[in-house]
């Protein structure tokens, strides 16, 4: 075996291995893995790097998500650390960020991110609005520590805080922007999930009960109490769930003002506000 291998040959070999394992975009993943083992400016893989690459390709061939292997994922052009305790941020969720940033000017605003995971939603809006601050909440302590790392790394630690909680149970306050991407996979959808998701991503970040709507049912009754009159809630929904979630919110004093589609044309973000002033 040659001691060093060119980047071209390394990508070629890794692509072949990943294609044989049935990975959908083997060349893209191969390039990412090769870049991951290379130092800055390096164009050849030395012996040790070849062995590192071989192990990474094996993990990817076993369907471990690329983001878990590299330890990071881009979202809203920001880099987020991720691990097996956090959902890998999805491009679809940028629909919530676009909707929240398009909401009529709020000036100083308080943001609540329910089910914050890696902290990607909270960090994305705070990065765009220097006058906003935010609270991220998650039930998973390990996910919260990843979110804390990310917010600090992005220079947003002083405008954010994190709390462990079970949805809205321990919350009071009045928030202008409520972001929430809850678990929404229905039980019957599990057999159709990619192995990357079903085997490696945290079940607590995915499972939405029998019909996928269990978390919305938990969250909806208290959402209005936690929202200011000028603000809005931006809830991510799965394919086919938007009208059910809109109806549910309507039963709890919230009016749906918009349902925004993602880039694939799937209704992805339900935007709701309070109907009436209380008392």
Ligand X SMILES: C[S@@+](CC[C@H](N)C(=O)[O-])C[C@H]1O[C@@H](n2cnc3c(N)ncnc32)[C@H](O)[C@@H]1O
Q: In the complex, which residues of this chain contact ligand X (CB under 6 A)?
A: 87, 89, 93, 115-118, 120-121, 137-140, 143, 166-167, 181-183, 204-205
Give the closest residue to 13 by CA, choosing from 24, 29, 196, 3.
29
CB 235 within 8 A of CB 258: no
3-state secondary structure of 98: helix
Contact 151, 86 (CB under 8 A): no
Q: How far is the CB of 213 from ligand X (least distance, A)?
A: 14
Nearer to ligand X, 120 or 246 (CB): 120
Nearer to ligand X, 55 or 79 (CB): 79
Shortest distance, CB of residue 277 to ligand X, whole angstroms? 28
> CB of 144 within 8 A of CB of 196?
no
8 phi and psi angles, rounded to 5 deg: -55, -50
115 vs 231, beta carbon nearer ligand X: 115
Distance separating alpha carbons of residues 161 and 156, to the nearest angstrom: 9
Distance CA 96, CA 115 (A): 14
What is the gyration radius of the CA atoms in the chain, in angstroms?
21
Least Å distance, CB 240 to ligand X, is 17
User: Smallest distance from the beta carbon of 32 to ligand X, in angstroms?
Assistant: 20
Q: Of 57 and 88, which has the nearer Cβ to ligand X?
A: 88
Q: CB of 249: closest distance to ligand X in angstroms?
A: 18
Q: Name which of 140 and 196 has its Cβ closer to ligand X.
A: 140
Give the residue among 37, 160, 22, 274 at the shortest CA–CA distance from 7. Answer: 37
């Amino acid at each position: 075996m040659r001691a060093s291998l060119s980047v071209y040959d390394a990508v070629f070999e890794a692509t072949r291995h990943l294609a044989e394992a049935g990975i959908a975009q083997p060349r893209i993943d191969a390039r990412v893995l090769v870049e991951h083992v290379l130092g800055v400016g390096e164009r050849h893989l030395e012996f040790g790097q070849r062995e590192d690459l071989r192990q990474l390709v094996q993990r990817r061939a076993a369907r471990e998500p690329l983001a878990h292997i590299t330890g990071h994922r881009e979202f809203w052009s920001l880099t987020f650390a991720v691990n097996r305790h956090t959902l890998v941020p999805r491009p679809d969720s940028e629909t919530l960020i676009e909707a929240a940033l398009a909401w009529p000017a709020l000036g100083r605003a308080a943001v609540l991110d329910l089910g914050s995971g890696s902290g990607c939603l909270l960090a994305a809006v705070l990065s765009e609005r220097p006058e906003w601050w935010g609270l991220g909440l998650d039930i998973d302590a390990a996910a919260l520590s990843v979110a804390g790392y990310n917010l600090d790394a992005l220079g947003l630690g002083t405008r954010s805080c994190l709390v462990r909680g079970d949805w809205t149970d321990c919350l009071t306050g009045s928030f202008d922007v409520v972001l929430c991407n809850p678990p929404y996979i229905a039980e019957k959808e599990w057999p159709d999930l990619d192995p990357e998701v079903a085997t490696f991503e945290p079940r607590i970040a995915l499972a939405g009960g029998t019909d996928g709507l269990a978390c919305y049912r938990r969250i909806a009754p208290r959402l209005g109490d936690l929202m200011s009159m000028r603000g809005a809630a931006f809830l991510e929904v799965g394919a086919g769930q938007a009208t059910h979630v809109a109806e549910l919110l309507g039963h709890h004093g919230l009016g749906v003002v918009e349902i925004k589609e993602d880039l694939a044309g799937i209704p992805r973000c339900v935007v709701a506000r309070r109907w009436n002033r209380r008392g």
